[in-house]
Amino acid sequence: MQTHTFKPDLPPPALSVGVVGWLRANLFSSWFNSLLTLFAAYLVWLILPPLIQWAFINADWVGETRADCTSGGACWVFIQQRFGQFMYGFYPSELRWRVDLTLWLAIIGAAPLFIPQMVRKGLYGLAFLVVYPVVAYWLLHGGSFGLEVVPTSRWGGLMLTLVIAAVGIAGALPLGVLLALGRRSDMPAIRVICVTFIEFWRGVPLITVLFMSSVMLPLFLPEGMSFDKLMRALIGVILFQSAYIAEVVRGGLQAIPKGQYEAAAAMGLGYWRMMGLVILPQAMKLVIPGIVNTFISLFKDTSLVIIIGLFDLLNSIKQATTDPAWLGMATEGYVFAALVFWIFCFGMSRYSVHLERKLDTGHKR
Amino acid sequence: MSEAIKQPAVTDGMIQMQGVHKWYGQFHVLKDINLDVKQGERIVLCGPSGSGKSTTIRCLNRLEEHQQGRIVVDGTELTHDLKQIEAVRREVGMVFQHFNLFPHLTVLQNCTLAPMWVRKMPKRKAEEIAMHFLERVRIPEQANKYPGQLSGGQQQRVAIARALCMKPKVMLFDEPTSALDPEMVKEVLDTMIGLAEDGMTMLCVTHEMGFARTVANRVIFMDKGEIVEQNEPNAFFSNPQNERTKLFLSQIIH
């Protein structure tokens, strides 16, 4: 009988691995790519040194007034002096601990959800989602149990930005999922309602929605009845963004093979269990990039509340730059705003990458 | 596979289809299907593609809706009533051509999902039962893997175990081996033979004629949405009565 001898495994050619291999594959794989690499390097050389010079080397970091900025670079003193306003808006300074505590509670409360060994995670998460908003509202707004009332008109800065973004995300996601399910429902009435809702909110600009909620809505309400401006903005943001989320989620639902629905139905799962246990977990995983994309744009769109006179981070900074004592600090202010926005958006993006990896069960067919 | 298996007792009626018709739009897929299945009976449905055999068994758990006639499964009639449909589905297990395991759940979770959420079984008990059936299909060591990490044959055996975990009274197989690589067909068929030996009521759409000979009490030949001929396997294969059956058999048995 013949036996076949298999050839041994050989190492790959030296030029295709390591630093040299990486450079060749990624930066210099063709003459055109080499040209692009050199051009990009030239651009970096053109932009980066002056930027570093301005932002770090020639910058002024300590001081109290504009007069302390003498070296010609960035005047970070401005940011430092107005930091409190940028973070809290007009929230009374002696009560700012309440904002800090709210944030810490969010971090501490959510932390167990990121511990893999945690048991009954779902139950805890649900409890957190129910309890935390109540506590957060009580802490921020006050008005009972001995806490002084801080009306929402005094909220501002990064705190307001985070409140709008967090409430917007927490409200728009579940509503969007329901709308997506409704749009694919077998019941014509529900389908028509959902389609109309989605197409209406997708068809109007957010700025119009905010403007209407602030200016037009009070005209239609009966005399003497009014409700909080921030509340109206929040509802506007939730309804607007839920339409986008709905369309993203619908994309995911459509990507789930029919066989999954059939297998779930065949074992006797009803509609809600089939969706909740089998279809949505898969669909949501597929659309993480799209959902995070919507969240990031929602986060940045919060700055549109400037149109209805709410002082979010950007508006607080804009306000500060018009202060006669700090004229000419617009660049520093907007760079700071950009940096803060970027940190949050990049954070969300990284977290979504991490989630996608964690949830990948290698089932691509 | 050649020697006939032990024959468990065939007793009461389990499924009755009476004058069942179904249309897809204008297309008349099922024409006057009449079929009685007794408990413990093992039926193989065969026929050319598009003959309505898959549609027939998919009507039995209402994955497809019939428009005329009566279907009664284990004493419950299938109508528009969702409660009744779900009641039937609890008692009828189904195995699909493309396995349809839930890729986001482990093998064990796939098996415990329905017992826990439909039968309201405690998790520990459900896992115990799941491990029992995974051992029966001889892959208990894969329990904590995800379906995507298994071969086709293993996935199909998990799908069988998953259906069995609901302790169904009837098992439907919709071309369970058609999507498998040739070397994996036998492991799935062996599992099904084991099931038949235990007296499970089975309806199986398949082109595996060896399986039909060994396991079936009755072979049904369908064409163009009708039951053309049915008989016990020996007579069916050695002495087909209908012209259409003869042609079909000559085409699939080389």
> What ipTM was estimated for this complex?
0.90
User: How much is the pLDDT for A362?
Assistant: 64
3-state DSSP assignment of residue B15: strand
Name which of B63, B102, B149 is nearest A260 (Cβ-Cβ). B102
Q: What is the per-residue pLDDT for A310?
A: 86
The residue written with tokens 């595996």 in the block is B208
Kindly report which listed range (A205-214, B54-63, B128-137, B155-164) carries the lowest average pLDDT score. A205-214
Angle between helices A157-183 and A121-141 (to 10 degrees): 130
- The whole-number pLDDT of residue B11 equals 54
Tokens found for residue B43: 């039926």
A-chain CB neighbours of B86 within 8 Å are 268, 270
B-chain residues within 8 Å CB-CB of A273?
A: 117-118
Dihedral over alpha carbons A360, B97, B79, A280 (to 10 degrees)? 10
How confident is the model at residue A125, as a pLDDT?
87
What's the rounded mean pLDDT across residues B102-125?
94
Contacts of A264 in chain B (CB under 8 A): 102
- Residues from chain B that touch A259, judged by Cβ atoms under 8 A, are 96, 98, 100
Subunit contact B63:A269, Cβ cutoff 8 A: no
SS3 (DSSP) at B96: coil
Percent of chain A with pLDDT over 90: 44
The whole-number pLDDT of residue A212 equals: 86
Residues of A in contact with B113 (CB under 8 A): 267, 269, 277-278
Q: Specify the pLDDT at position B71.
A: 93
Quick one: tokens of A244?
């986008």
In the predicted structure, residue B2 carries a pLDDT above the cut 50: no
Residue B131, pLDDT > 90, answer yes
Determine whether the interchain pair B146/A281 forms a contact, defined as Cβ–Cβ distance below 8 Å.
Answer: no
pLDDT in tens, B15-53: 999 999 999 999 999 999 999 999 999 999 999 988 999
Q: What is the pLDDT of residue B6?
A: 52
Q: Confirm if A359 and A351 have CB atoms less than 8 A apart.
A: no
Q: What was the pLDDT predicted at B218? A: 93
Contact B94 A266 (CB under 8 A): yes
> Which of residues B156 and A147 earns the better pLDDT score?
B156
All domains of chain A in start order, with CATH: 151-253+290-359 (1.10.3720.10)
**Region B222-238: what's the mean pLDDT?**
92
Nearest to A282 among B90, B92, B103 (CB): B103
The predicted structure's pLDDT at residue A320: 86
The pLDDT-based confidence of B54 (bands split at 50, 70, 90) is very high
Nearest CA of chain A to the CA of B83: how many Å?
Answer: 9
Alpha helices by DSSP H, listed for A70-146, are: 77-88, 96-110, 121-141
Give residue-wise pLDDT tens across range B207-221: 888 899 989 999 999
Over residues A150-205, the pLDDT tens digits come to: 888 888 899 999 999 999 999 999 999 999 999 999 899 999 999 999 999 999 99
Q: Nearest CB to A267: which of B89, B103, B146?
A: B89
| Closest in A264, A267, A363 to B166, CB measured | A267
Flag residues of chain A having pLDDT under 70.
223-226, 362-365
Find residue B43's DSSP bridge partners. Answer: B203, B218
